[in-house]
Amino acid sequence: MTLAGYVLSRGCQPVAKALIELWHANESGIYDNSGYKLRGHQFTDAQGRWWFETIVPGSGRTRHFHLNIQRPGGNVLTTQLYFPGEPDNDRDRIFNSTLVLDVRTTSDGKFGRYDFVVA
Ligand SMILES: [Fe+2]
C-alpha cells in the first residue's frame, strides 16, 4: 500500500524537511528486530508531502503503523495510525479513533492518507 500525507504547521502552512520515521509489523504481525525490515524514514518535500510504499501490516494487536514526526528543530511526535473498520480496533487498549487513516482502494493498491499538524 501507499501511506502518505502532509506535515503542516498550526497555521496550515506546509512544513518542508520534516522527518517522518515509520516502522511496522510484517503481514503476520511480527516485528523484525534483527534485520529491521519494514522500518525507514523520509523527509517531507517543499510542499510538506511525505509517502511510503509498503505493505499492509498484519494484526498482532489491531493493524497499525508506528511513526515519529519531527519538524526541523522541533519536538518528536511519536504516534500510531490505524485502519478504518478493523474488527480489533474496539478491542485494542490504545486504539484512538482520531488516528485512523483515510484508506482508498486504487488500481495501484491501497492508498492511506493522514495529515499531521506539528507545533
Ligand atoms: Fe506495534
Grid coordinates given for 55: 505493505
Euclidean distance between CA atoms 101 and 86, whole angstroms: 11
pLDDT(96) > 90? yes
Whole-angstrom Cα Rg for the chain: 14
Per DSSP bridges, beta strands 2-9 and 116-118 are parallel
Residue 11 CA to ligand 1 centre (angstroms): 31
Residue 15 CA to ligand 1 center (angstroms) comes to: 26
The predicted model gives 95-104 an average pLDDT of: 98
pLDDT confidence of 119, banded at 50, 70, 90? confident
**Mind listing the pLDDT tens digit for each residue in 48-75?**
999 999 999 998 899 999 999 999 999 9
- Give 2-118's CATH code, choosing from 1.10.3720.10, 2.170.130.10, 2.40.50.140, 2.60.130.10: 2.60.130.10
Summarize pLDDT for 32-47 with one digit per residue, the tens: 999 999 999 999 999 9
- Non-local (6+) Cβ contacts of 106 within 8 A are none
Report how far ligand 1's centroid is from the alpha carbon of 10 (Å).
28
Query: Does 80 score more than 90 pLDDT?
Result: yes
Question: Cα of 78 to ligand 1 centre, how many Å?
Answer: 12
How many angstroms separate the Cα of 35 from the Cα of each of 24, 39, 53, 94? 13, 10, 19, 27
C-alpha 25 to ligand 1 mean position (Å):
7
Distance 13 CA to ligand 1 centre (A): 30
